[in-house]
Amino acid sequence: MKKWIPSIFVMIGIFYLSSRTGSELNQMFPFFKDLNWGHLVAYFILAMTFIYALIGKFPLIKSMVVAVVLSVIYGLTDEWHQMYVPGRTPDIHDLVNDFIGAIVGVIVFYFWVRKKESKE
């Protein structure tokens, strides 16, 4: 259960940030001028925390697939949540960026594991 704690914290962070308006986020993260980068980074990290939680329970490839699926499901709930946040609207492009961030996250994790295994 401890391995899920990072995922929970990242999901809380995403929920908090998606409760902010675009102008608030631009003030908080001026270096992300385009909020799509925020989606890519957040879901990259979320997918990696999901893999961390799953890696001992499933083979690597299955963990990667489950991590992406969980990330996209959370992205769907995040877009749904934004329907109720003043100044925010759900956007399919955000969900696509969530998916891309999660895919890149699991690919990076895959190559990190393979590199680590080759050194052993």
Q: What per-residue confidence (pLDDT) applies to 37?
A: 81
Q: Residues 6 or more apart from 24 whose CB is under 8 A from it?
A: none
Q: pLDDT tens-digit profile of 15-62?
A: 999 888 777 776 777 766 655 788 899 999 999 999 999 998 999 999
In this prediction, residue 114 carries a pLDDT of: 86
Cα angle for residues 104, 16, 98 (degrees, 5° grid): 20
- Could you tell me if 48 and 105 are in contact, meaning their C-beta atoms sit under 8 angstroms apart? yes
The torsion angle over the Cα atoms of residues 8, 103, 109 and 6, rounded to 10 degrees, is: -10
Stated pTM of the model? 0.88
Rounded Cα gap, residues 65 and 68, in angstroms? 5
